[in-house]
Amino acid sequence: MDKEKRDAILRWWKEKGIQNGDDLRKAMKGRDTLLAFHTNRLDFPEVTLELTEDIFYRGTVKGYTGEARTLFVIQDAKYAWNYFVNAFDQMRPLDESLVKDLHHELTVGTYDEEMYLHGEWPGEYKIGDYVTGRYEVGAPPEDVPDEIRELLDELNDVPGDQILTVAAYFHVKFENIHGFADGNGRVGRLLMNYFLVNQDHPVIIIHEGDRKQYMEALEAWDRVQDLKPMKEFLEEQMIKTWEEER
């Protein structure tokens, strides 16, 4: 890890003095589309940067012949980012209400018919026993509300030198809980970034080309509760996100 690069990016971000939604949009400088592209691409390989830019900037696509769900996924990412910025502008806390609201924005229209038939809905915790990953992790449905609330309570009073450690912990734990029928990865990455910007920390794009390392970091927690791989991975991704910009 290049500590000098990391510290320079952190100083550069703080010097921007981001106080509201407009400040955040300016600081992102179009990286909202890259954030959406990479987070979607981790789960949907058919998503392209061109499609993402068309929907984010022009609100339409031409000559598209793929699945409609792909377009909904990208459009939802746009709506969720706008919701994210507005929530930051309104100084909304990262609480259970925000978790559910962002999940709804990210997944509305993308649940399949089978999920709806089983009573699963965007913005609501799972009622089926969905699990994920190599180790099939996931809290039982009846435990999800308490586990999410407990996790959110742990985000209070974070020391300045522990922000990235806590962000890494939040993300691996949130994914381990796997509280929704679908969309856990996308909403978990967005919520982690909401925590970061509220701590005056740069947004981190998890790049789809680094998916293998990302999954290994998640699995290190699932397997032996080892947080170090995720923290180091996030530090690398932060530098990758912002090194050319500062």
pLDDT of res. 246: 62
- Please name every residue paired with 132 in a beta bridge, in sequence order, or none if there are none: 137
- Is the alpha carbon torsion for 212, 213, 214, 220 positive or negative? positive
Which positions ≥6 away from 156 have C-beta within 8 Å? none
pLDDT of res. 8: 96
pLDDT of res. 145: 98
Walking along the chain (246 residues) 10 residues at a time, the average pLDDT comes out as 90 97 95 97 96 94 92 97 98 98 97 94 97 93 98 91 97 98 98 98 98 98 98 98 84
State the residue for tokens 């509760």. Answer: 225
pLDDT of res. 30: 86
pLDDT of res. 157: 84
The pTM (predicted TM-score) of the whole model is 0.96
pLDDT of res. 23: 98
Identify the burial level of 215 via C-beta atoms within 10 angstroms of its C-beta, where 0-12 means exposed, 13-18 middle and 19 or more buried: middle
3-state secondary structure string across 38-74: HHHHCCCCCCCHHHHHHHHHHCCCCCCCCCHHHHHHH
| Domains identified in the chain and CATH numbers | 3-242 (1.10.3290.10)
Q: Which of 87, 70, 95 lies closest to 154, judged by CA?
A: 95
